[in-house]
Amino acid sequence: FVLRLDLLHKPQAIRTSFTTTLDPRATYMWVVESLARTSFTPEDAVFEMENGRVVQFNPGRTGLVPDARLTTLATIHALTDKQTDSVAIAGIPLQPNVTLASTNSLGIHEFLSGGISDFSNSSKNRLANIEAGMNQVKGVLVKPGDIFSFGDYLGDVTAEKGFKPEIVIKADGLKPELGGGICQVSSTLFRAVMQSGMQVTQRKNHAFSVSHYYPAGTDATIYTPVTDLKFKNDTPAHILIWPHYLDKTHLAFDLYGT
């Protein structure tokens, strides 16, 4: 269905005004087609640990029996009143058989916050370093009251861990070193921590703005053992750090807890 906006020829002061022509039947058919292309099946949560780390994880998902009629009415209302740019799909929720809270006794019950970064146009070696750096902190559990140190989990940056030579920012200029690009990982985690409201106890920005860490001021340098990213878990439960790729150019860090 195509929403037609008929622009009105008005004076400059109110030229942004417009009228909306809607066909309720066409809108309903569009909603039905859209719902048919979407999965609303609930997903069971998965939480598996080995040696104190989470190795398999899925937070689960609430399903839905969608109501096309009510969703159509909400869509028409939103388009007519222009008060929102999104519409919640109406229907009856379906709970999964296994919820995240039922999989553990650590307080890992819900999504707390997330951070995203764009690593477009990264070299092959930089991509390898992002992958290797992400694996060093994936599935880490931070106890209540503990301070997480990125450097402690990263350890020595070696070829045995999968790190490759890539450009890093040094005091005397740009030079290739093992692990160049790890800061994509630490910066993305830093953004998730900022969104959570937990206390950041150590963090240093880069010497100058880097396109991979846009927007400026949301980056976190890692250069062990001198420069680290640390935060305190001041929540009442454990925190799960779970990084993953959103797509081929975006890295995400999700934090789960209570």
Q: How many CA atoms lie within 13 A of 18 on its CB side?
A: 11
State in Å, rounded, how far the first CA of the chain is from the last one: 42
Q: What percent of the chain has pLDDT over 70?
A: 89
Query: What was the pLDDT predicted at 209?
Result: 77
Q: In angstroms, rounded to a whole number, what is the distance separating the alpha carbons of residues 160 and 132?
A: 10
Q: In angstroms, rounded to a whole number, what is the distance separating the alpha carbons of residues 143 and 189?
A: 17
Q: Tell whether the model's pLDDT for residue 22 goes beyond 70.
A: yes
DSSP string, 80-97: HH---S--PPPEEEE--S
Task: For 26-71, write each residue's pLDDT tens digit.
Answer: 999 999 999 999 889 999 999 999 999 999 999 999 999 999 999 9
Q: Tell whether the model's pLDDT for residue 131 goes beyond 80.
A: yes
DSSP string, 94-130: E--SS-GGGG-SSS--EEEEEEEEE-TT--HHHHHHH
Q: Kindly tell me the sign of the dihedral angle through the C-alpha atoms of 23, 26, 32, 33.
A: negative
Task: For 198-250, write each residue's pLDDT tens digit.
Answer: 999 999 988 777 778 888 889 999 988 889 999 999 999 999 999 999 999 99
Q: Count how many residues are written for the chain.
A: 258
Q: Tell whether the model's pLDDT for residue 164 goes beyond 50.
A: yes
By mean pLDDT, which of 103-107, 166-170, 222-226 is the weakest? 166-170
Q: Tell whether the model's pLDDT for residue 3 goes beyond 70.
A: no
Query: What was the pLDDT predicted at 179?
Result: 74
Query: What was the pLDDT predicted at 19?
Result: 57
Q: Which residues contact 3 (CB under 8 A, 6 or more apart)?
A: 20, 21, 22, 79
Query: What was the pLDDT predicted at 43?
Result: 96
Q: Which residues contact 256 (CB under 8 A, 6 or more apart)?
A: 59, 100, 108, 109, 110, 111, 112, 239, 240, 242
Comparing CA positions, the residue from 210, 144, 145 lying closest to residue 180 is 210
Query: What was the pLDDT predicted at 99?
Result: 97
Comparing CA positions, the residue from 221, 81, 104 lying closest to residue 154 is 221
Q: Tell whether the model's pLDDT for residue 17 goes beyond 60.
A: no
Q: Tell whether the model's pLDDT for residue 5 goes beyond 60.
A: no
The per-residue pLDDT of the chain, averaged, comes to 88
Query: What was the pLDDT predicted at 4?
Result: 37
Task: For 72-86, write each residue's pLDDT tens digit.
Answer: 999 998 888 877 778
